Structure 1
Amino acid sequence: MDFQVVVLAGGTSKNLVPIVSKEVPKALLPVANRPVLSYVLELLELNNLKDLIVVVEGEDAALRVGGWISGAYVDRLHVEELPYLLSADSKLRVEPTQLLDTCFSPNTGQLEVLIKWKDLPDFEASWELFDVIQQQFPDFHVEDKVTLLGGGVIDKTKPLVAAVPEDVGTAGAIRAISHHLTANDILVVSGDIVSDVPPGAVAAAHRRHDAVVTAMLCSTPVSGPLESGSSGGKDKTRKTGRYNLIGLDPTKQFLLYIATGAELEKDIRIQKSILRAAGQMEIRADLMDAHLYAFKRSVLQEVLYQKETFHSLRRDVLPYLVRSQLRSEVLLNDVPQPEENGNGKVGSQTNQLIQSQILANASKPSFHQLYAVGPNGSDPVRRTHKCCVYIASSNNYCARLNSIQAFSDINRDVIGEARNLSGYSFSAQNNIIHPSAELGSKTTVGPYCMLGEGSQMGDKCSVKRSVIGRHCRIGSNVKVVNSVVMNHVTIGDGCSINGSVVCSNVQLQERVVLKDCQVGAGFVVTAGSECKGEALAKKEK
Structure 2
Amino acid sequence: MSNPGDWTAVIMAGGSGSRMTDLTNQCPKALLPVGRFPMIWYPIRSLEKAGFSDIIIITRQSWQDQIHSALSVDTGSIGARLEMVGIPDSEDWGTADSLRHIADRIRTTALFVSCDLISDCKLSDLMLIHRKYNSSLTVILSQLPSSILAETPVPGFKSKQKNSAAEKISIGFESSNMDHVLYWKAQIDMEDEFVFFTRKFLDRFPCTRLQSTWADCHAYLINKSVIRYLKERPNISSLQGELLPLVVQKQMSMYVRDRPKEDADMASPGSDVRVGKKKDLVDFVAESESDLTNSVKFLSLTSDSFGLSEDSPQKDLVRCYAYRQTSGFCVRANTVAAYFEACKQMPRLIGTFWNNKKKEALLNVPESTTIKPKSQVGADCMLGESVTIGEKVSVKKSVIGKHCKIADKVRITNSVIMDHVTIQDSCNIINCIIADSANIGDKCELNNCIIGHNQSIPTMSKHTNEVVSNVSQMMEVFLE
Instruction: Give the shorter-chain TM-score range.
Output: 0.7 to 0.9
State the Cα deviation string for residues 287-336 of structure 1 (Å, max 9, x = none): 22211111111322312422x23221011100111112112631455636
Q: CA deviation at 1:37?
A: 1.1
Partner of 1:290: 217
Correspondence list, 1:68-147, <5 A: 68-73=70-75, 77=79
Instruction: Out of 260-269 and 273-282, give the one that drifted further.
Output: 260-269
Superposed CA RMSD in Å reads 3.3
Q: CA deviation at 1:384?
A: 4.2
Q: 2:299 aligns with which of 352, 360, 363?
A: 360
Q: Which secondary structure state, in structure 1, belongs to the residue aligned with residue 252 of structure 2? A: coil
Partner of 1:433: 365
Hey, what's the Cα distance between the residues in 2 that align with 1:382 and 1:13?
43
Q: 1:174 and 2:99 equivalent? A: yes
Hey, what's the Cα distance between the residues in 2 that align with 1:271 and 1:26?
40
Higher RCO (Cα < 8 Å, 6 or more apart):
2
Q: Is the 8 Å Cα contact of residues 489 and 505 (structure 1) preserved in structure 2?
A: yes
Q: 1:400 aligns with which of 308, 328, 332?
A: 332
Partner of 2:205: 278
Query: Measured at CA, do residues 226 and 321 of structure 1 come closer, stay the same or move farther in structure 2, by a change above 3 Å?
Result: closer
Q: CA deviation at 1:261?
A: 4.7
Q: Which secondary structure state, in structure 2, belongs to the residue aligned with residue 175 of structure 1? A: helix
Hey, what's the Cα distance between the residues in 1 that align with 2:243 and 2:313?
25
Q: 2:30 aligns with which of 27, 30, 43?
A: 27
Query: Measured at CA, do residues 203 and 378 of structure 1 come closer, stay the same or move farther in structure 2, by a change above 3 Å?
Result: closer
Query: Measured at CA, do residues 453 and 535 of structure 1 come closer, stay the same or move farther in structure 2, by a change above 3 Å?
Result: same
Correspondence list, 1:445-524, <5 A: 445-524=377-456
Partner of 1:327: 253
Hey, what's the Cα distance between the residues in 1 that align with 2:167 and 2:61?
34
Q: Is the 8 Å Cα contact of residues 282 and 318 (structure 2) preserved in structure 1?
A: no
Partner of 2:352: 421
Hey, what's the Cα distance between the residues in 1 that align with 2:367 and 2:76?
25
Query: Measured at CA, do residues 433 and 381 of structure 1 come closer, stay the same or move farther in structure 2, by a change above 3 Å?
Result: same
Q: Is the 8 Å Cα contact of residues 461 and 477 (structure 1) preserved in structure 2?
A: yes
Hey, what's the Cα distance between the residues in 1 that align with 2:391 and 2:82?
47
Correspondence list, 1:173-322, <5 A: 173-179=98-104, 181-221=105-145, 222-223=148-149, 243-249=168-174, 250-263=176-189, 265-272=191-198, 273-306=200-233, 308-322=234-248
Q: Is the 8 Å Cα contact of residues 166 and 215 (structure 2) preserved in structure 1?
A: no
Q: CA deviation at 1:508?
A: 0.7
What is the one-letter code of the residue matched to 1:476?
Answer: D
Hey, what's the Cα distance between the residues in 2 that align with 1:75 and 1:425?
11
Q: Note the residue ranges of structure 1 that are not aligned, 5 or more in a row.
A: 79-157, 228-238, 339-352
Q: 2:9 aligns with which of 5, 9, 12?
A: 5
Partner of 2:461: 529
Write out the 4+ residue segments of structure 1 that deviate beyond 4 Å after TM superposition.
Answer: 74-78, 224-227, 239-242, 331-334, 353-357, 376-380, 422-427
Give aligned-pair identity as a percent.
24
Q: 1:412 and 2:344 equivalent? A: yes
The TM-score, its normalising length taken from structure 1, stands at 0.71
Q: Which secondary structure state, in structure 1, belongs to the residue aligned with residue 141 of structure 2? A: strand
Query: Measured at CA, do residues 42 and 444 of structure 1 come closer, stay the same or move farther in structure 2, by a change above 3 Å?
Result: same
Q: CA deviation at 1:358?
A: 2.0
Hey, what's the Cα distance between the residues in 1 that align with 2:397 and 2:293?
60
What is the one-letter code of the residue matched to 2:116?
Answer: D
Q: Note the residue ranges of structure 2 that are not aligned, 5 or more in a row.
A: 154-163, 255-279, 475-480
Q: CA deviation at 1:278?
A: 1.9
Q: Which secondary structure state, in structure 2, belongs to the residue aligned with residue 316 of structure 1? A: helix
Query: Measured at CA, do residues 364 and 422 of structure 1 come closer, stay the same or move farther in structure 2, by a change above 3 Å?
Result: same
Q: CA deviation at 1:8?
A: 0.4
Q: Over alpha carbons, which structure has the higher Rg?
A: 1
Partner of 1:103: none
Partner of 1:164: 87
Hey, what's the Cα distance between the residues in 1 that align with 2:149 and 2:77?
37
Query: Measured at CA, do residues 185 and 431 of structure 1 come closer, stay the same or move farther in structure 2, by a change above 3 Å?
Result: closer
